Amino acid sequence: MKKKLFIAFLLVFVIAFVLVGCSNSQNEEGKDANAAKPETKEATGSSVVRIAMSTEIDNLDPYKSAATDTGSMMDNVFDGLLDTNPKGELVGAIAKSYDISEDGLTYTFTLNEGVQFHDGSELTSEDVVASYETLAGMNGGEPIVAEFAVIDSIEAPSDYEVIFHLKEKNSAFLAANIVAIVPSDYEEQSSKPIGAGPFKFEAYKVGQELRLVKNENYYNHEKIPQIDEVQFKIMPDQESSVLAMQAGEIDVLPGVTQQGLTQLGDSINTVSGPQNMVQLLALNNDVEPYSDLKVRQAINLAIDKDTIIDTVSEGNGTKLGSNFSPAMEFYYEPGLEDYYATNIEKAKSLLAEAGYNDGFQMELTVPSDYQFHVDTAQVIAEQLSQVGIDVEIKMIEFSTWLEDVYQNEQYDTTIIGFTGKLDPYKILRRYVNDYERNFVNYDNEAYDELIDQALRATDEKDIAAHYKEAQRLLTEDAVSVFISDPDRTIAMSNHLEGLNMYPIQKFNLEDLHYTE
Amino acid sequence: MKKSQSIPWRIGIVLVICLMTMMIISFFYTPFGPNEMNTGSRLEAPSFSHPFGTDNFGRDILSRVMQGAQTAFLIGTSSVFIGLMFGFILGASAGYFGGWVDEIIMRFIDAMLAFPGILLAIMLISVFEPGLKNTIIAIGIMSVPGFTRIIRSSFIQYKTYDFVKASVAKGAGALRIIYHHILPNAFSPILVAATLSFSGAILGESGLSYLGLGVQPPDPSWGRMLKEAQPFIVTAPWYVIIVGVIITMMVLGFNLLGDGIRDKQDTKA
């Protein structure tokens, strides 16, 4: 009996050591495999790029899919009237140009001629009208794209011209036109999607992979992809996808951690940059003591964002001061990130002024699915203990978080990341008093006014000025603690390069090419 | 008793005493604050100032392991207590009274056993909210069936002994017989079961905390530390190894101890 136990014990140790040994030797093997890579590519003849994706596809139909990752994969199959460049500026795609009337109520798009869907049929204004009627909910039902609710009527005077008449001025309308255009009389988007993008849908195996092939007839000749075939492999576990990349089974890894990078060493090319996300410690402005401006300012002063970036993001992040990332350069108000430079003494005196000499208990609800936010919570708990605030971390599942915190606003404080949107209105609308998802419960008429003015304005500069002013208000009122925009790093095998970072989760594979 | 047989038991004793000492010391002294972060010294390898190295927040791993021992012992002791209390009530009644009482209780226990323990615990914690108290309750409930079965079988065994029959003849009540006559005799299997279940409880807590359902951060728990160490398994292997070895020591120690107690009883019988 005891002998058995001892053998079992010994075995555990032997296995443990073998495993540790393995990880080292795998490192070297991985490098060798990578070094041998270009040869295998030439041997097979056609170029296949394998990309790891962490989440399952929710729906192939672009109008029915809600998942961000699915969107960034299928974006390669579909094109919209407009597209975005890496700076977040709108550029023409299917539409070669657009014109906005003086009163801001009529938008005229001129389409490129000779655009073909993947089935060979030509894309004309008829398809655009049909797509937009579905998107705007004009055939009954809710609009799929909320911004399109403002569309009053659509006209197609010729095959290559579409005119939108809006009910009222809305500066957020334009940026929404990046949405996919689909063939008007095609009903099998969910099983075999057809678009006009640079890649064609080839096959999809649930839980395994999505295969796309190059669209030789892509209308934008400069952007016909170099890569013949792309295989998205579904790999939910971050660590195993790093190992797969090491072993040469994966060529591109979107979203790799610092640890993963260390592991991969110099066998890869990387691009990284802010992802237009806002990670924040949201304070429920309707709940005591966070309804008190001084308390909120004290919390802002006590939290050292640099430390959070250095530890949790391992130095790869951009410090924020308001609910806006510098990834959207044109609308970003710089200089707010140091508005509340860490000052423990000042924080303490502010708390004392607010009547909390001995500090208080803070309940911090964190979605447990995100280790990133859980780690941030631990650092914040430590930092706030210096001013006498006793943080109690409460971890809940993300689905519970969505219901309790995001919808029902049953919380004191929470940590979450808002993913990037292309339109500043969608980002800053979160703090407008009557917006239903204003779960921070910020209530400031001046702010609502600014956002409304930005929406009604027609001049780009005016719009930006209003949004900048709004960002400043959020900081001055210490609405929440805006922490950072964590960098996203894309790793590519060293025979690939060219992918770009976009302010929305976008994965433009036509940019990808082989190194010389 | 042969000397060779007692070696594992001695190792068990040494392991348990070592960890217990560490836990007791942690009440008065830890080298650093267990939650104290020092971002300047992240993921440092073991050294003189940090014998076990530091974690990704620059916290001293030794201090956290020591503090974590408190959690481990607390959860072990209290969940065994809960399991034992309910297990005794159920097992003693089932074993002593037999018949339909036995039938009802044991079918209920069978139903509980039908769920894997950890699944039952996860279910309980998802219904209530995660935290130390609910972890203890969940692990306690998880160990009830095991105790019930062991206690029931010794009660069935002793019920037929002459000394019990004699007390029944003298007119002793059921409670008196259960407490004064059978319990002292059933003590040793219960002790063995309790010791073994202690290590089970520690494993259970580690598992739950690893899944993020047990002890909540920033308070250290060995399971949570394992989870936090996982992303750094290649860059800072000592973190995960040290925590893994400590959990192994604890579980092994209590297992050996339990085995040793049982062997001693066997030779006596």
> What's the token pair of residue A453?
């003015």
- Asked if ipTM goes beyond 0.85, one says no
Quick one: which of A83, A65, A81 has its CA closest to A73? A65
What is the per-residue pLDDT for A20?
47
- Shortest Cα–Cα distance, A311 to chain B (Å): 6
Residue A8 falls inside a structural domain: no
Q: What is the CATH number of the domain that holds A405?
A: 3.10.105.10
Residue B39 forms contact with A (CB below 8 Å): yes
* Structural domain boundaries, residue B259: 7-24+59-267
What is the per-residue pLDDT for B126?
78
Express each pLDDT in B64-120 by its tens digit.
888 888 888 898 899 999 999 999 889 888 888 888 888 888 898 888 888 777 787
Q: What is the mean pLDDT of chain A?
A: 83
- Shortest Cα–Cα distance, B39 to chain A (Å): 7
Q: What is the CATH number of the domain that holds A214?
A: 3.40.190.10
CA atoms of B189 and A250, how far apart (whole Å): 55
| Residue A181, H or E segment | none
- Contact at 8 Å (CB) between A98 and A164? no
What is the per-residue pLDDT for A279?
92
Quick one: which of A228, A177, A199 has its CA closest to A72? A199
CA atoms of B249 and B252, how far apart (whole Å): 5
Cβ of A5 within 8 Å of Cβ of B259? The answer is: yes
> Which residue out of B11, B15, B39 would a mutagenesis test of the A interface target, given it has the greatest number of A Cβ atoms within 10 Å?
B39
What is the per-residue pLDDT for A43?
42
Residue B40 falls inside a structural domain: no
User: Is the per-residue pLDDT at B218 higher than 50?
Assistant: yes
What is the per-residue pLDDT for A377?
92
Cβ of A374 within 8 Å of Cβ of B255? The answer is: no
Residue B245 falls inside a structural domain: yes
A52 to each of A230, A267, A507, B66, B267, how far by Cα in Å? Answer: 11, 17, 12, 40, 60
B226 to each of A166, A448, B191, B210, how far by Cα in Å? Answer: 57, 47, 30, 7
User: Is the per-residue pLDDT at A194 higher than 80?
Assistant: yes
User: What is chain A's alpha carbon radius of gyration, rounded to the nearest angstrom?
Assistant: 25
CA atoms of A82 and A91, how far apart (whole Å): 6
Count of alpha carbons within 13 angstroms of residue A103, beta-carbon side: 6
Mean pLDDT of A244-273: 85
- Look at residues A148, A178, A208 and tell me which one is the last residue of a structural domain: A178
- From the number of C-beta atoms within 10 Å of its C-beta (0-12, 13-18, 19+), residue A142 rates as exposed
Cβ of A23 within 8 Å of Cβ of B56? The answer is: no
Residue B31 falls inside a structural domain: no
Residue B173 forms contact with A (CB below 8 Å): no
Express each pLDDT in B140-194 by its tens digit.
888 888 889 888 888 888 888 888 778 878 877 777 878 777 877 778 888 888 8
Confidence at A463, pLDDT banded by 50, 70, 90: confident
Asked which of A293-302, A507-516, B58-67, B233-242 is least confident by mean pLDDT, the reply is A507-516
- Contact at 8 Å (CB) between B82 and B141? yes
Confidence at B267, pLDDT banded by 50, 70, 90: low
Mean pLDDT of A212-238: 87
- Look at residues A157, A178, A199 and tell me which one is the last residue of a structural domain: A178
Task: Please give the tally of structural domains in chain A.
Answer: 3
- Using a CB-CB distance cutoff of 8 angstroms, which residues of chain B are in contact with residue A411? none
What is the per-residue pLDDT for A41?
44
- Using a CB-CB distance cutoff of 8 angstroms, which residues of chain B are in contact with residue A310? 39
- From the number of C-beta atoms within 10 Å of its C-beta (0-12, 13-18, 19+), residue A458 rates as middle
Residue B216 forms contact with A (CB below 8 Å): yes
Interface residues from chain A to B (CB-CB < 8 Å): 1-2, 5-6, 9, 12, 16, 20, 23, 27, 238-239, 257, 259, 262-263, 307, 310-311, 368, 371, 374-375, 377-379, 381-382, 392-397
What is the per-residue pLDDT for A413?
92
User: Is the per-residue pLDDT at A157 higher than 80?
Assistant: yes
H-type helices in A185-257, by residue range? 238-246
What is the per-residue pLDDT for A1?
46
Share of chain B above pLDDT 70, in %: 97
- Shortest Cα–Cα distance, A399 to chain B (Å): 12
CA atoms of A419 and A504, how far apart (whole Å): 8
- Using a CB-CB distance cutoff of 8 angstroms, which residues of chain B are in contact with residue A20? 237, 241
Share of chain A above pLDDT 90, in %: 9
- Shortest Cα–Cα distance, A245 to chain B (Å): 15
CA atoms of A145 and A180, how far apart (whole Å): 11
A-chain residue closest to B256, CA distance: A2
- Shortest Cα–Cα distance, B256 to chain A (Å): 8
What is the per-residue pLDDT for B47?
82
What is the per-residue pLDDT for B186?
79
Q: What is the CATH number of the domain that holds A164?
A: 3.90.76.10
User: Is the per-residue pLDDT at A257 higher than 70?
Assistant: yes
User: Is the per-residue pLDDT at A131 higher than 50?
Assistant: yes
Mean pLDDT of A357-366: 88
Let me know whether A349 and A406 are in one domain.
Answer: yes
With vertex at residue A465, the alpha carbon angle to CA A462 and CA A467, rounded to the nearest 5 degrees, is 110
- Using a CB-CB distance cutoff of 8 angstroms, which residues of chain B are in contact with residue A9? 248, 252
What is the per-residue pLDDT for A355?
87
Q: E-strand spans in A122-267?
A: 151-158, 161-166, 199-205, 209-214, 229-234, 252-254
- Contact at 8 Å (CB) between A276 and A485? yes
Supply the pTM of this predicted model: 0.77
Quick one: which of B92, B87, B88 has its CA closest to B143? B87
Q: Which of A23, A238, A381 sits opposite B234 (nearest CB)?
A: A23
Mean pLDDT of A84-91: 82
Asked which of A87-91, A198-202, A429-433 is least confident by mean pLDDT, the reply is A87-91
Tell me which amino acid residue A422 is: L
Residue B48 falls inside a structural domain: no
Q: Which of B235, B252, B255 sits opposite A259 (nearest CB)?
A: B235
Task: Please give the tally of structural domains in chain B.
Answer: 1
> What's the token pair of residue B202?
């520690």
DSSP reduced 3-state for B179: helix
User: Is the per-residue pLDDT at A23 higher than 80?
Assistant: no
Residue B98 forms contact with A (CB below 8 Å): no
Residue B190 falls inside a structural domain: yes
Size of interface A-B (CB pairs under 8 A): 81
User: Is the per-residue pLDDT at B42 higher than 90?
Assistant: no
φ/ψ of residue B210, rounded to 5: -60, -35
> What's the token pair of residue A176?
């929404």
DSSP reduced 3-state for A210: strand
Cβ of A259 within 8 Å of Cβ of B232? The answer is: yes
CA atoms of B83 and B139, how far apart (whole Å): 8
- Look at residues A143, A178, A213 and tell me which one is the last residue of a structural domain: A178
* Structural domain boundaries, residue A194: 46-59+190-273+488-514
The pairing of beta strand A90-92 with beta strand A82-84 = antiparallel
Quick one: which of A143, A148, A137 has its CA closest to A81? A148
Residue B50 falls inside a structural domain: no
What is the per-residue pLDDT for A10?
55
Cβ of B241 within 8 Å of Cβ of A239? The answer is: no
CA atoms of B193 and A36, how far apart (whole Å): 57
Residue A13 falls inside a structural domain: no
Cis geometry, peptide bond prior to residue A289 (ω within 30 degrees of 0): yes
CA atoms of B8 and B252, how far apart (whole Å): 10
Confidence at A42, pLDDT banded by 50, 70, 90: very low
B-chain residue closest to A237, CA distance: B231
